Protein backbone atom coordinates (compact mmCIF):
# COMPACT_ATOMS: atom_id res chain seq x y z
CA UNK A 1 0.00 0.00 0.00
CA UNK A 2 1.35 3.49 -0.79
CA UNK A 3 2.82 5.42 2.13
CA UNK A 4 0.17 8.13 1.91
CA UNK A 5 -2.58 5.47 2.16
CA UNK A 6 -0.91 3.93 5.20
CA UNK A 7 -0.74 7.36 6.82
CA UNK A 8 -4.37 8.03 5.98
CA UNK A 9 -5.52 4.74 7.52
CA UNK A 10 -3.47 5.31 10.67
CA UNK A 11 -4.97 8.79 11.06
CA UNK A 12 -8.47 7.48 10.24
CA UNK A 13 -8.18 4.78 12.90
CA UNK A 14 -7.13 7.31 15.54
CA UNK A 15 -10.07 9.56 14.61
CA UNK A 16 -12.43 6.56 14.84
CA UNK A 17 -11.18 5.73 18.33
CA UNK A 18 -11.64 9.38 19.39
CA UNK A 19 -15.04 9.61 17.66
CA UNK A 20 -16.34 6.46 19.30
CA UNK A 21 -14.92 7.64 22.61
CA UNK A 22 -17.06 10.76 22.36
CA UNK A 23 -20.06 8.66 21.32
CA UNK A 24 -19.66 6.44 24.35
CA UNK A 25 -19.20 9.48 26.57
CA UNK A 26 -22.51 10.90 25.28
CA UNK A 27 -24.28 7.57 25.65
CA UNK A 28 -23.06 6.96 29.20
CA UNK A 29 -23.57 10.51 30.45
CA UNK A 30 -26.90 11.00 28.69
CA UNK A 31 -25.70 14.42 27.60
CA UNK A 32 -25.48 14.70 23.81
CA UNK A 33 -23.87 18.13 23.79
CA UNK A 34 -20.77 17.11 21.78
CA UNK A 35 -22.73 15.46 18.98
CA UNK A 36 -21.13 17.81 16.40
CA UNK A 37 -17.57 16.92 17.42
CA UNK A 38 -18.48 13.22 17.47
CA UNK A 39 -20.03 13.37 13.98
CA UNK A 40 -17.10 15.34 12.52
CA UNK A 41 -14.47 13.05 14.08
CA UNK A 42 -16.23 10.06 12.58
CA UNK A 43 -17.23 11.44 9.19
CA UNK A 44 -14.33 13.80 8.35
CA UNK A 45 -11.77 11.93 10.47
CA UNK A 46 -12.64 8.27 9.95
CA UNK A 47 -14.80 7.94 6.84
CA UNK A 48 -13.32 10.66 4.62
CA UNK A 49 -9.71 9.91 5.58
CA UNK A 50 -10.27 6.22 4.80
CA UNK A 51 -11.81 7.16 1.44
CA UNK A 52 -8.83 9.41 0.62
CA UNK A 53 -6.46 6.61 1.60
CA UNK A 54 -8.40 4.16 -0.56
CA UNK A 55 -8.32 6.54 -3.53
CA UNK A 56 -4.52 6.79 -3.32
CA UNK A 57 -4.20 3.02 -2.89
CA UNK A 58 -6.17 2.55 -6.11
CA UNK A 59 -4.29 5.34 -7.94
CA UNK A 60 -0.68 4.63 -7.10
CA UNK A 61 0.62 6.83 -9.89
CA UNK A 62 -0.91 9.80 -8.05
CA UNK A 63 0.15 8.53 -4.62
CA UNK A 64 3.85 8.78 -5.61
CA UNK A 65 3.55 12.48 -6.18
CA UNK A 66 4.70 14.77 -3.35
CA UNK A 67 1.38 16.55 -3.64
CA UNK A 68 -0.35 13.49 -2.16
CA UNK A 69 1.62 13.85 1.09
CA UNK A 70 1.04 17.61 1.14
CA UNK A 71 -2.70 16.98 0.70
CA UNK A 72 -2.63 14.41 3.53
CA UNK A 73 -0.78 16.86 5.80
CA UNK A 74 -3.11 19.78 5.21
CA UNK A 75 -6.34 17.78 5.44
CA UNK A 76 -5.28 15.85 8.55
CA UNK A 77 -3.99 19.00 10.27
CA UNK A 78 -7.36 20.65 9.68
CA UNK A 79 -9.38 17.77 11.10
CA UNK A 80 -6.94 17.25 13.98
CA UNK A 81 -7.45 20.88 15.06
CA UNK A 82 -11.17 20.92 14.30
CA UNK A 83 -12.22 17.91 16.39
CA UNK A 84 -10.81 18.99 19.78
CA UNK A 85 -11.64 22.67 19.26
CA UNK A 86 -15.22 21.83 18.24
CA UNK A 87 -15.47 19.57 21.29
CA UNK A 88 -14.30 22.42 23.55
CA UNK A 89 -16.62 24.91 21.84
CA UNK A 90 -19.63 22.63 22.31
CA UNK A 91 -18.66 22.18 25.96
CA UNK A 92 -19.03 25.93 26.40
CA UNK A 93 -15.52 27.24 25.73
CA UNK A 94 -16.16 30.19 23.43
CA UNK A 95 -12.41 30.79 23.11
CA UNK A 96 -12.20 27.71 20.88
CA UNK A 97 -14.24 29.40 18.14
CA UNK A 98 -11.26 30.89 16.20
CA UNK A 99 -9.66 27.44 16.10
CA UNK A 100 -12.86 25.90 14.80
CA UNK A 101 -13.06 28.59 12.11
CA UNK A 102 -9.39 28.32 11.09
CA UNK A 103 -9.42 24.53 11.05
CA UNK A 104 -12.56 24.53 8.89
CA UNK A 105 -10.71 26.50 6.21
CA UNK A 106 -7.61 24.29 6.51
CA UNK A 107 -9.78 21.18 6.11
CA UNK A 108 -11.54 22.72 3.13
CA UNK A 109 -8.14 23.55 1.58
CA UNK A 110 -7.26 19.86 1.95
CA UNK A 111 -10.47 18.89 0.19
CA UNK A 112 -9.81 21.36 -2.64
CA UNK A 113 -6.31 19.95 -3.01
CA UNK A 114 -7.79 16.46 -3.19
CA UNK A 115 -10.12 17.67 -5.95
CA UNK A 116 -7.06 19.02 -7.79
CA UNK A 117 -5.36 15.63 -7.48
CA UNK A 118 -8.46 13.81 -8.73
CA UNK A 119 -9.06 16.08 -11.71
CA UNK A 120 -5.42 16.45 -12.80
CA UNK A 121 -4.38 13.83 -15.38
CA UNK A 122 -1.33 11.70 -14.55
CA UNK A 123 1.76 12.66 -16.55
CA UNK A 124 3.22 9.66 -18.34
CA UNK A 125 6.78 10.19 -16.97
CA UNK A 126 5.51 9.56 -13.41
CA UNK A 127 4.38 6.05 -14.30
CA UNK A 128 7.47 3.79 -14.54
CA UNK A 129 8.37 2.05 -11.29
CA UNK A 130 6.06 4.19 -9.20
CA UNK A 131 4.03 1.47 -7.44
CA UNK A 132 7.10 -0.42 -6.21
CA UNK A 133 8.73 2.67 -4.73
CA UNK A 134 5.62 3.47 -2.77
CA UNK A 135 5.15 0.18 -1.01
CA UNK A 136 8.16 0.75 1.23
C1 LIG B 1 -19.65 2.87 19.40
C2 LIG B 1 -19.75 3.81 18.46
C3 LIG B 1 -20.69 5.00 18.53
C4 LIG B 1 -21.45 5.47 19.56
C5 LIG B 1 -21.55 4.94 20.99
C6 LIG B 1 -22.18 6.63 19.07
C7 LIG B 1 -23.04 7.42 19.81
C8 LIG B 1 -23.76 8.49 19.34
C9 LIG B 1 -24.69 9.28 20.11
C10 LIG B 1 -25.04 9.07 21.59
C11 LIG B 1 -25.20 10.24 19.30
C12 LIG B 1 -26.20 11.33 19.69
C13 LIG B 1 -27.57 10.93 19.18
C14 LIG B 1 -28.59 12.05 19.36
O15 LIG B 1 -28.42 12.92 20.24
O16 LIG B 1 -29.58 12.08 18.61
C17 LIG B 1 -24.59 10.07 17.99
C18 LIG B 1 -24.83 10.85 16.88
C19 LIG B 1 -24.21 10.72 15.66
N20 LIG B 1 -23.26 9.79 15.31
FE21 LIG B 1 -22.54 8.35 16.53
N22 LIG B 1 -21.83 6.83 17.77
C23 LIG B 1 -20.93 5.86 17.38
C24 LIG B 1 -20.33 5.73 16.14
C25 LIG B 1 -20.52 6.55 15.04
C26 LIG B 1 -19.87 6.42 13.76
C27 LIG B 1 -18.84 5.31 13.43
C28 LIG B 1 -20.34 7.42 12.97
C29 LIG B 1 -20.00 7.77 11.56
C30 LIG B 1 -19.19 7.06 10.77
C31 LIG B 1 -21.28 8.20 13.75
C32 LIG B 1 -21.97 9.30 13.29
C33 LIG B 1 -22.89 10.00 14.01
C34 LIG B 1 -23.65 11.12 13.48
C35 LIG B 1 -23.58 11.70 12.08
C36 LIG B 1 -24.47 11.57 14.50
C37 LIG B 1 -25.46 12.72 14.46
C38 LIG B 1 -26.83 12.16 14.12
C39 LIG B 1 -27.91 13.23 14.10
O40 LIG B 1 -27.65 14.39 14.42
O41 LIG B 1 -29.06 12.89 13.80
N42 LIG B 1 -21.36 7.64 15.01
N43 LIG B 1 -23.72 8.99 18.05
Q: How many residues are present in the chain?
A: 136
Which is more confidently placed, 50 or 131? 50
- Tell me whether residue 39 is exposed, middle or buried, using C-beta atoms within 10 angstroms of its C-beta: 0 to 12, 13 to 18, 19 or more: middle
* Pocket residue to mutate for ligand 1, from 21, 23, 32, most atoms within 8 A of Cβ: 23
pLDDT digits (tens, 9 = 90+) for 22-80: 999 999 999 999 999 999 999 999 999 999 999 999 999 999 999 999 999 999 999 99
Q: Is the pLDDT of residue 111 over 70?
A: yes
Please state the rounded mean pLDDT for residues 91-99.
Answer: 98
Q: Provide residues with CB under 6 Å of ligand 1.
A: 19-20, 23-24, 26-27, 32, 35, 38-39, 42-43, 46-47
- Counting residues of the chain whose pLDDT is more than 90, the rounded percentage is 89
d(CA 12, CA 95): 27
Amino acid sequence: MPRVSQLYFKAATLFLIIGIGMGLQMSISGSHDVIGAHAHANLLGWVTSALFGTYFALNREKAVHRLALVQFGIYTLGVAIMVPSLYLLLRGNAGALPFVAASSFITFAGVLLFAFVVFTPVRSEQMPGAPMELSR
